[in-house]
Structure 1
Amino acid sequence: MLKEIYEQPKAVENTISPRIKDGQIVLDELGLSEDEIRTIRKIYIIACGSAYHVGVSAKCVLEKMTRIPVEVKSRGAYIMAVTNEGNHQMENLAAFTLYIPEASHYFATSLAIIPLQLLAYYVSVAKGLDVDKPRNLAKSVTVE
């Protein structure tokens, strides 16, 4: 990527210079207030081709600088959201949204596990996998 940057300094300047105003970086495209930015708890980067590698680099930088977990998904990846009832923001972000009942965050994890276990079971059966003999089971379970 550094090679491309050296080959196209004007393109880099044209990309960065409109986002600097009075010595400050401005990202109006985000459309988020500072208060909204402070509430971000997770970032998803979706990219394809060589942009995927840029996304992986951005993941490292973002996680170190913001201390927010970042996931990079390749375009075409199937994204499924698991969230509390009433959180309809996820519908726009995921291909499928699985809702669990409102509960304390301590109990929500247990509620989410049940449908995810069922999903794993049904996907495994549909793929013709033996659900009673999962791969690498011997590494996970010790028989006495």
Structure 2
Amino acid sequence: MKLAWLVVAALSAASVQARDTDYSAAYSACMDASGGVTASMIDCIGNEHALQDAALNAAYAALRAALPAERRTQLQAVQRAWIAYRDANCGFYADPDGGTLARVSATECMLRETAARALELRTLLPVD
């Protein structure tokens, strides 16, 4: 079981590295300075998640404003379904038997999914 978590952690770390451009420079610096200390890493992830969540909310609001009424209703339903999926999926990473690594994996999942959704919504905005 522990070996599986190490593999998940390695994959998550690779995912973060590959997606580094979606995250702020402060996040990379924070993670580098964390020295692999779980509490520090979770703080870094939490801070970046707040930034990415704000970006997600801004992209959602901008897209919503650009859509006709019937599409706004559809977007709202899709966004609610996406939130339910993200929360359930990332909650699964928080294995109660996984120790502190599971907590890091779960919070990193929330960050990764939120950043990806913000980018996705921005790509749906009409080009002026």
Provide the TM-score with structure 1 as the length reference: 0.24
Rg (Cα) greater in structure: 1
| Relative contact order higher in (CA < 8 Å, ≥ 6 apart) | 2
Whose strand proportion is higher, 1 or 2? 1
Higher helix content, 1 or 2 = 2
